[in-house]
Amino acid sequence: MSKQKTHKKKVTGIGGIFFKCQEPDKMRDWYGKNLGLITNQYGALFEFRKSDKPAEKAYLNWSPFEEDTDYFEPSDKDFMINYRVENIEELVAELEKNGVPVLDKIETFEYGKFVHILDPENNKIELWEPIDPVFTKMYQDKTNK
């Protein structure tokens, strides 16, 4: 009987789409008025259910940023993708071992842990190990479903 290697989850989904624009407030208002997004000061939260745990809510954040933000640096792109991940500490150790540029230390907030990396084309990527119940409590009935 051969042992099968179990696949560790790394990225579990998209956690956010961030993009630069000239006037984030007007952009949020336009998307609210014309496309029906429920927005907040950060953008809009999209609520979904986890496929392996359908009773649990999870979130994707859509967020316009100021054109001159330095949050996407060192990338010169006008966008950044946030990926939902599991076991961020293990993942960062593996990424470092593989020579992936890890831009900062893991930061912990009440809604999860974050770290930033670069892909081979210098796109900054945000990795997020979420604590979804915090968003459920903060934004009950104020999300896009």
64-121 tens-digit pLDDT: 999 999 999 999 999 999 999 999 999 999 999 999 999 999 999 999 999 999 999 9
Q: What letter would DSSP give residue 102?
A: B
What is residue 134's three-state secondary structure? helix
Number of other residues whose CB lies within 10 A of the CB of residue 101: 14
Whether the pLDDT of residue 4 is over 70: the answer is: no
The pLDDT value recorded for residue 136 is 87
Residue with tokens 């459920």: 136
Whether the pLDDT of residue 2 is over 50: the answer is: no
- Architecture of the CATH domain 11-138: Roll (3.10)
Angle 68-127-100 from CA coordinates, rounded to 5°: 95
Name the pLDDT band for 51 (thresholds 50, 70, 90): confident
Number of other residues whose CB lies within 10 A of the CB of residue 131: 14
The pLDDT value recorded for residue 6 is 55
Whether the pLDDT of residue 145 is over 90: the answer is: no
Q: What is the pTM of this model?
A: 0.88
